[in-house]
Structure 1
Amino acid sequence: MMNTDYIETIKKRRSIYALGKNVETPYEEVASLIKAAIRESPTAFNNQTVRAVILFNEHSDQLWEIVAEALKQEVPDEAAYAKTRAKIDSFKAGIGTILLFTDEAVVQQYQNDYALYADNFANWAEQAIGNAQINIWQALATNDIGASNQHYNPLINEAVQKTFDLPASWTLRAQMPFGSIEAPAGEKDYLADEDRFKVLK
């Protein structure tokens, strides 16, 4: 009989939107966990295109204020913006945010070095970001830390690069707020297996 422990662990990873600051693990240990999850995530040709900035406390708050200000320009209606602001504040309520980037300089270097596969490296970099995201998210969930995956890029890219003094080659791909789980995720629906899978024996 197959070991399904990992599947049970995967089930713990959900989008948690009710975040809080009730995390007892020292921030340095949380940061080390995140770094390890990225380090062990696979990338094409082991080219390690993923970059991350781990923001805690006021640095994370600063990020979500950048998002709020950018969206204020995009959502002029006050009632609609109030809902948007409440959503942003829910991300801000956690203990931190992980900014995930692709280093385009590495992508371009591999495109030049491996011309036969040049058209694939951008797609492979996206897969690398996905691998890193799920591994980080899973590692946090295993330690009872909630998270969700957000995408306010490219709207905030320029402000983020300037605010956090980042290399121009780093392109923002996702933002992952995290913190204590203050309310569980909702029910999750699944497609019927016959609509999703085909097994040939």
Structure 2
Amino acid sequence: MIKSILKLGLCVAGLGVILARPAVSATFDFSTTLPKPIDMLQASSIKDGQDGGQVRERITVTDGVDSKFLSPWFETAYWEGGLGPEYTAVGKGASAAYEFSDLYSSVSFLWGSVDEKQQVRFFQGDEPVYVLNSDLLLKNGAPEKTGFVQITIFTQPFNRIEFYSQNNSFEFANLRVSAVPLPAALPLYAAGLLVLGLIGRFRKFAK
């Protein structure tokens, strides 16, 4: 009986490790097909850079003076009279984070003028899940420092996304998590079902 209990404990512990294990890879695809604009989400938290880089949310213009930020909608069909749909610009050293109450496995957004050393970071709670570097996007044919790409990233479940730039401003629009959400308590449900099944099996053998 003691051996059975020990086996049960090991099974549950093993399941917990598997379900809690963070991802080490992800996939993505992108195109230069212009999407229809959607309302931008408000960041859950923002952090300005030490060198003066700022996060500018829901802006509709392009910086024509210092060229610090360029709208991803610039010179598209939705650009008119020096204005375009809303977008967010994350300056050098700054970051913008978006938190969700559920777990998701993909995100899509319009990425403007892809530049070196820009990152999209994924987290589940405080645990890192994946980091997509813009350099990888450029190696796969994304236009550099001009235009835009519409990108979709698929990765392990996350509930927080962080946009960060070590270089020029990171501009993006149309941010949305489009995958079917996974309940945050799903691992607990799965572990509970396994435990109940194993208990029933041991009771059967005990008889």
TM-score computed with the length of structure 2 as normaliser:
0.29
Q: Which has the larger radius of gyration?
A: 2
